[in-house]
Amino acid sequence: MIAYAQWRKIGRILIISVLLWKATTLLFAAIATQILPLQLAFTIWRDGQYKDFGLHLPYLVSIWGNFDGFFYLAIARDGYLSGQQPFFPLYPFIIRLITTRFDMPYVLSAQIVSLVAFMAALIVVARLLAYDKKLFLFPLMIAVILTFPTSYSYGATYNDALFFLLATLTLYLGRTRRFVWAGIAGAAATLTRLNGLALFPFLLVEYMLPSGDEWHPKVILQSLRESLRLKSLRASHIWAAILIPLAFLGYALWINGEFGSWQTLFSTMSVWGQDKVTFPIQVVWRYMKIFFSHHPASLSYWVATLEFASFALYMTTLIWSFKKIRLSYWIFAAVSILIPSLTGSFAGMPRYGLHLYPLFLTLALCLSKQSGFGKTIYFLAVLALLFFCIALFTRGIFIA
């Protein structure tokens, strides 16, 4: 349990940190206007008929609806049209509810949903750290999350903040053995993003390994035998974990009924070159060819570098955290990284880390062992990358 005095301190850290983060993202976006031209085709202003999106709002408000954000707003307003199936329904559904209830522009409603979800997610992070007896990491963990190079998405018209909340809530409910609620939260996460499916193996492993040295083979086998007893299964409510794949199945069946084939969920991703299962080694080879065929001075070269570096970072932290974090966390991170790496491209990789509590936990654990100089170098580097990403995103240049 977290004492009241601790909660007050955590609350102060959280509020001050988020305010500084938001001010920094706005400052970086303002500076970007003096450096890069605006690519209108990928901004919220790409189609003038969507007046109620919030085109009349100040630039530093409306600019966060660029790229995929435009599609979430369109789905919230008009429902699904052909080609929009890969954008899962829970986030635009909530945007529509808020917009209808409070009669405000869609882009503003979307940012409110994202920011509220993000604040709630950070509170869950604190609860989870406290339960795992790692609350001392909270200030460093918050700094790692807020300075992550694509953290601007937490405040944009993207579903990353909502998914981070629901995924981390699933981890917390699973850790505290409230499996029915964990299954419900995991199902909601799956209706937000496809990688919510990675929460299913997390819950199964978390159920089987309630305590002890969960990485030891003998403990795993013993816990597995005990967990598979029918009486134990009835009492545990672990069956609720099936709600996670059922949520995905329900969405696929709805697509099948509305558009004639559930496969459109994946076939429409051909626009991004992500419609076929590809072995990760092949994807790595594709990026090697990009590095040899593109000029280092080109923007595409550096975007590809960031995508590949993101994948390399996730793999490095996964290897480093082996036996250093809870097994169920590690499996959740591993499956979460595997799912997008099978799509044939690392195009979304810079953002996928935003969803992973285990990634941030690993980075915080690693940084906690570094000197003050090491921490300074790390945060200066990620702040530079954060500016780079915000500049491209807000000016309509694809980054993730």
Indicate the DSSP class of residue 57: S
pLDDT reported for residue 174:
94
Q: Is the pLDDT of residue 370 over 80?
A: yes
State how far the Cα of 56 lies from the Cα of 44, in Å rounded to an integer. 11
Q: Which residues of 196-220 are buried (b: 16+ CB within 10 A; e: fewer)?
A: bbbbbbbbbbbbbbeeeebeeeebb
Burial 82-121 (b: 16+ CB within 10 A, else e): eebbbbbbbbbebbbebbeeeeebbbbbbbbbbbebbebb
Indicate if the pLDDT at residue 301 is higher than 60.
yes
pLDDT at 278: 73
Digit-coded pLDDT (tens) for 209-235: 766 556 766 766 676 666 666 556 666
Say what the pLDDT of residue 196 is: 96
pLDDT one-digit tens code per residue, 40-90: 888 888 777 777 898 889 999 999 999 999 999 999 999 998 888 999 999
Q: 40 with 396: CB under 8 angstroms?
A: yes
Q: Is the pLDDT of residue 253 over 90?
A: yes
SS3 58: coil
pLDDT over 70 at 285, yes or no: yes
Mean pLDDT of 296-313: 84
Whether 1 has a pLDDT exceeding 70, the answer reads no
pLDDT bin (cut points 50, 70, 90) of residue 126 is very high
pLDDT tens digits along 162-198:
999 999 999 999 999 899 999 999 999 999 999 999 9
The Cα–Cα gap between 288 and 302 comes to: 13
Reported pTM: 0.92
d(CA 165, CA 373): 32
pLDDT surpassing 60 at residue 360? yes
3-class DSSP state of 14: helix
User: Phi and psi (nearest 5°) for 70?
Assistant: -60, -40
* Inter-axis angle of helices 299-320 and 327-341, nearest 10: 150
